[in-house]
Chain A
Amino acid sequence: MADLLSHVLVAYMLFTLASWRVETVTPRWVVVVMGGAAIPDLSKVRIVLAPQTVEAATGLPFSYAPFSTLGGVVLAAGAIALLFGREHRRRAWGFLVAGGVTSLVVDGLRLSIDGRAGTLLYPLTWWGPPSPNLYLTSDPRVLGVTLVVAAVVFVLDRRRSRQADGRPE
């Protein structure tokens, strides 16, 4: 999967652009989307607590991979949304899922040895969508491009909101 920073920046770019058109997408929700974009990366918990350790402790087969799938994103976003105030929860859940799905799509574009993007749609299906083999996460150019585009969006957004409400700054 792409690195977390790229995930976050892509989510930021897409939903900041969306906020120019859609009223409900405000900066406070863009940051929630950015948080949601990190959900697929939660599978890296394995670095801290290896699934084999969990298996040994519980006697059950175990994998963190569902974090990087649709089902995992939906459930994890639900749990995270509960941390929000009551009146925000539904919307928070929606934006968290949106961010997570954004990252899943980004991950689906990367290079894959078997040409498949992996079980992104689990548990709906084990079928992996074909991957366009666009990039390799470890390639710094990926982040470089993302950073530049995100910076452009950031500047444009600043300029735009300054024009909109005449805020100093």
Chain B
Amino acid sequence: MRDRDSVVRVKRPRTEANPLVGDVVEERGLVVGEFPVVREHEHRVLGHRSVDDGVAVLVELDDGALVGEPVERRREPEPVQGDTGAGLDRLVTDSLPPLVECPPDQGRSRALVRVQPADGPTVEDDGKLVTEHEVDTDVLAEVVGEKERGRDTPTEDVEAAGAAGEVVERELRGRRGVVPDDDELAHTRHSSGRGLHLSDRTETPNRHAGPPDDVQGRRLLLGFVLVAALSGLFVHYGASADSHQRYPSNGEIATAYEDHVGETVQITGVVRSPTANGSGEGSDTANGSDGTNATMTIVLRGFGSFGTLTVRGADRTAASGGTVQVIGTLETDRTVTAERVLPVNPHSWSEPYKYAVSVVGAVLILVAFFHEWRVDTGSLAFEVREDG
């Protein structure tokens, strides 16, 4: 390393065996040929001015852009700095590796990239994210050149970069452990095309790692809120439905029978033994038959443990196993004198029929739905089936 070479100082724990560092390097492949050190106007980075707002941007260079000006940067051991990456704490909020965010009292770590406040804008303040095509090669070359002139000491490190805006943030997020264990930056060259261009790594990998996590997090949060609200309805309904019923029903009768004796009640029961009484209209095979004064034994639906009740004076009954709704007067001896009876499920097969048919309905929904939609395993979401 030459005297006047600038240095990108990086911060990492001294624990050489940290597997995370090796992993990330393998994954990301520090294929940056050079690090042009560019200046960033604070406003571009985080939109407000602050001493700590400087940020480093790692831009991939093509040889052609800086002929004869290799910007080889080696990491060299640095003394522990007092400000070990203090500026990063606020810059890199989302997924900065804990390595860098270690508390200040852990003086055993060194700065990966030291952040220095920017001196001022170097690019027009258009406030837009600079894309690959928008990169002003002159600007980049200029600041790199300035850097190369060795104006700064080797400890000056990276200056804030200009015009990279959001790219800068993403880039930083992806930079965990860029230095391999041998304290050497990878020098893989990655040249594709002429001129300067932002590394494609600034665009692709983090797009899947960063914002989508936020989106999925919000999705999960919203889902949680909706389910919580729905649960609130379940509880609220359970708590207040009784008071809004015109008549006491199964629950109240099963829990406090005596309190409702003499009142008009509305019950739903499963018929145990329908018997015709007087009219001779047989209702064992009843078809919602019209007995004039039928009696049946029922079990309160949902409260089978309460035992049986007798319904007298029913004008209609259902077959054994069927279901009836009854409005009538609750008597003392577990009897209801019916005013109206509605055989909801007149036959014993009525309820199984409804469930069987409903299962067919559910299958129909699934078949129809997945004919048009598919599960995208990447986003864990239903997406339109293109071949549907």
Contacts and interface: CB of A to CB of B under 8 A. Distances in A.
Q: Do A and B come from one complex?
A: yes
B353 A79 contact: no
Nearest to B327: A113
A72 B234 CA distance: 9
A88 to B, nearest CB: 7
Contacts, number: 148
B1 interface: no
Given A31-B369, A52-B302, A111-B342, A85 B379 contact: yes
Contact of B325 (A92, A113, A122): A113
A27 to B, nearest CB: 6
B381 A8 contact: no
A123 B384 CA distance: 34
A44 B358 contact: yes
B237 A82 contact: no
Contacts of A63: 234, 237-238, 241
Interface in B337-373: 340-342, 344-347, 350-351, 353-355, 357-362, 364-365, 368-369, 371-373
A88 B234 contact: no
A158 to B, nearest CB: 14
B314 to A, nearest CB: 12
A122 B361 contact: no
A6 interface: yes
A166 interface: no
A4 B362 CA distance: 7
A83 B388 CA distance: 19
Contacts of A34: 364-365, 368-369
A31 B372 contact: yes
B226 interface: yes
B89 interface: no
Query: Helix, strand, loop or mixed for chain A's interface?
Result: helix
B103 interface: no
Interface in A114-143: 114, 119, 122-123, 126, 136-138, 140, 143
Contacts of B361: 3-9, 38, 41
Interface stretch (B72-80, B215-223, B271-279): B215-223
Given A5-B364, A60-B235, A82 B222 contact: yes
Contact of A31 (B227, B346, B359, B371): B371
Given A34-B369, A88-B384, A119-B244, A3 B237 contact: no
Given A38-B365, A55-B238, A63-B241, A123 B372 contact: no
Contacts of A4: 357-362
A32 B368 CA distance: 9
B274 to A, nearest CB: 16
B266 interface: yes
B360 to A, nearest CB: 5
B354 A137 contact: yes
Nearest to A77: B226
B48 interface: no
A119 B249 CA distance: 15
A65 B365 CA distance: 22
Contact of A65 (B229, B237, B346, B382): B237
Nearest to A51: B238
21 contacts: A3-B357, A5-B357, A5-B358, A5-B361, A27-B372, A31-B365, A31-B369, A31-B373, A34-B368, A60-B235, A62-B234, A72-B233, A85-B376, A85-B379, A113-B325, A114-B246, A136-B344, A136-B346, A138-B344, A138-B347, A138-B353
What 9 A-B pairs come out closest when comparing CB atoms? A5-B361, A4-B361, A61-B238, A4-B358, A138-B350, A63-B238, A28-B372, A66-B233, A126-B244
Given A60-B238, A119-B241, A143-B357, 11 more contacts: A8-B364, A31-B365, A31-B373, A34-B369, A61-B239, A65-B241, A84-B383, A85-B384, A113-B326, A122-B233, A138-B347
